[in-house]
Structure 1
Amino acid sequence: MRFTHKWLIWLFVLGLVFSTTACGTNEAAKNNSLDAIKKRGKLVAGIRYDVYLFGYKDPSDGQVKGFEIDLMKELAKRMLGSEKKLELKEVTSKTRIPMLNNGDVDLVAATMTITEERKKQLDFSHVYYLAGQSLLVRKDSDIQGAKDLNGKVVMTAKGATSGQVIRDIVPGVQLKEYENYADAFTALKSGKGDAVTTDDSILLGMEQQAPDQVRLVDEQITQEPYGLGMAKGNKSLVKYVNQFLKEIQEDGTYDKLYKKWFKKDPPKDIPEEAVQKVLKQ
């Protein structure tokens, strides 16, 4: 095939795009390495503001709270000597990977499922929470599982994997995506859709906020292992974070934080298939 002048220009532009993306990721790994964080004296974590129990901004006092927030505080304390050396930046399902690879945050703790596609864009820690995709419906709904979703309006957040999973399982579903889960939850309560789908851990938090209006469907559609995300190639930080997760599990800190937020003991073992999602990266 002969390349015209126009084709050569397009190939040059595409080359610049791919080169810039790769350089951006490598630069983020360098600027957000363990040594860089220690030299800076501050850990910058990307967290959610809209996921009750994990990372949410409490309207009563304006403070961001949750299981992942406490994990990041503990990480900052062990890494830098004080949880006050932690800076939190809000991310959403849509913005968390770009913000990580742009170097805006050192790592992301934001209910992020480890997937093969995401592992092409970033590196993950070991699994720190095992969730499963499910459905939240209104209290009077007759939906009992994915089999009842044909023709129904199902809502989720932009950038989340849950929407595509539901589409694959139920081709006849009508999917609506919102900027965040808080908006999807509000839409469900006001009757703008039939269900919200995402990880059951997130939906449990919603159910606890409005137990008289909504209920969590007793079905786990998928298995969703959460990992802390770091820039591709940031080996020093990945190694440190994995050691941190091991230490807090061994010394009881993890169990304490888990019980604080979820009111139950953490699972004793993570299924092998969930572990393999990390090991294969």
Structure 2
Amino acid sequence: MNSTRLVAAIFAASLLSLAGCTQAQEAETPTASGASSADAKGGSTGSTGPDGASRLDAVKESGKLKVCTTGDYRPFTYLDPKSEAWSGIDIDLAKDLAERLDVEPEFIQTSWSELMPDFLENCDIAVGGVSISTERAEQAFFTDATLTEGKTPITRCEDVSKYDTIEEINRPGVKAITPLGGTNEVFADENYPKAEIIRFKDNNTIFDEILQGRADVMTTDASETKWVAHEKKGLCAVHPDKPFNFSQKAFMVPRGDVVFQEYVNQWLNFAKHDGTYAAAEKPWFG
């Protein structure tokens, strides 16, 4: 090979190498949304399924919105044992979400102790006064908060002054009742080690235990204490506007599915401003 042909061959090889590098860079170039061009064409970004599909697409395709909820936490979720009818603030909101998606809601009853495994296996969304926690956030995404409040006691009205601090409840001889498997039980375990903690299975009848004198006090979300005090004569919420701690409620959606999370957040924003949310609350809070 003479010197001219050798130079030409080297130049051609250099061009091929440069073209390959350019193509590789283009494949990894971020788009305006932050995903690579390969992701923009349908590859996984970590926010959806491996084929780029969202739960939003799956719900639309199936024609059903599968909703996990306990049915035992009024005013947010309640399943009437006789009529088997669902009611509650979050139940009405889930129905509205399904209507806007043009699908049917399917309510799947769970318990607080089984909420997460049931949600992960069976549901598209979980509602019903679900408190945001870091433990739950390890396995699911939360929507924007639907309510900001905290834990506060409820007791017999004549005993309000006896149980208005954590120190007063955390004493030997005090019977602090709590439902199983939720953030109320966690709060009781963390704050009332000296008291007698009564773990009760039926969240629908738990407040009757206080009325009947079999328990002294229960610490739960301020919203629940307000509703119970309104419904059950003889029980009073203890400083519900000044709770012991800070907490928020929200809906749970699949972890990593930003598309579905953003859709539900946008719907929730509309619901809070077009009267939908207020209409769902009115039968319970007036």
Q: 1:138 aligns with which of 129, 144, 156?
A: 156
Q: Is the 8 A contact 2:67 2:123 kept in 1?
A: yes
Larger mean CA deviation between 253-262 and 124-133 belongs to 253-262
Q: Percent identity?
A: 24
SS of alignment partner, residue 130 of structure 2? coil
Q: Secondary structure at the match of 1:140?
A: helix
Maintained 8 Å contact 2:91/2:128: no
Mark the structure with the bigger radius of gyration.
Answer: 2
Give the counterpart of 1:197 among 208, 219, 222: 219
Would you say 1:154 and 2:172 are equivalent positions? no
Number of the residue aligned with 1:6:
none
Partner of residue 117 from structure 2, selected from 78, 98, 103: 98
Residue 128 of structure 2, aligned match among 104, 107, 110:
110
User: After the TM superposition, which of the residue ranges 164-173 and 133-142 deviates more from structure 2?
Assistant: 164-173
Instruction: Write the letter of the residue equivalent to 2:187.
Output: V
Task: Work out the CA distance in 2 between the residues paired with 1:72 and 1:239.
Answer: 16
Q: 2 CA distance for matches of 1:237 and 1:119?
A: 16
Offset of residue 76 of structure 1: 0.5
Shift of 1:58: 3.7
Report the 3-state secondary structure (helix = DSSP H, G, I; strand = E; otherwise coil) of the residue aligned with 1:86.
Answer: strand
Corresponding residue for 2:100? 78
Question: Deviation at 1:36?
Answer: 0.9
User: Which one of the candidate residues 11, 31, 46 is aligned to 2:68?
Assistant: 46
Q: 1:113 to 1:207 in 2, by over 3 A?
A: same
Corresponding residue SS for 2:251: strand
Structure 2 unpaired stretches of 5+: 1-47
Q: Which letter maps to 2:106?
A: E
Deviation string for 1:35-65 (max 9, x for gaps)? 1111110111112321222111346744221
Equivalent residues, number = 232
Q: Give the match for residue 268 of structure 1.
A: none
Q: Residues of 1 paired with 2:53 and 2:195: CA distance? A: 43
Q: Which residue of 1 aligns with 2:28?
A: none
C-alpha contact 1:123 1:229 (8 A) present in aligned 2 = yes
Which residue is equivalent to 2:237? 216
Q: Which residue of 2 aligns with 1:244?
A: 267
With normalisation by structure 2, the TM-score equals: 0.73
Would you identify which runs of 4 or more consecutive aligned residues in structure 1 move more than 4 Å?
Answer: none
Gaps of at least 5 residues in structure 1 are 1-25, 264-281
TM-score (structure 1 length as normaliser): 0.74
What's the offset of the Cα at 1:32? Answer: 8.0
Change (3 A) 1:249 1:208: same
Separation of aligned partners in 2, 1:251 and 1:215? 33
1:82-111 Cα offsets, whole Å, 9 max, x none, are: 6xx111111221121111111x12110021
Counterpart CA distance in 2 for 1:163 and 1:96 is 14
Partner secondary structure for residue 249 of structure 2: strand
Q: CA deviation at 1:245?
A: 0.7
SS of match in other structure, 1:38 = helix
- Write out aligned runs for 1:228-243 (5 A): 228-243=251-266
Distance 2:157 2:211 in 1: 10
Q: Distance in 1 between matches of 2:114 and 2:189?
A: 22
Aligned equivalents of 2:109 and 2:144: distance in 1? 22
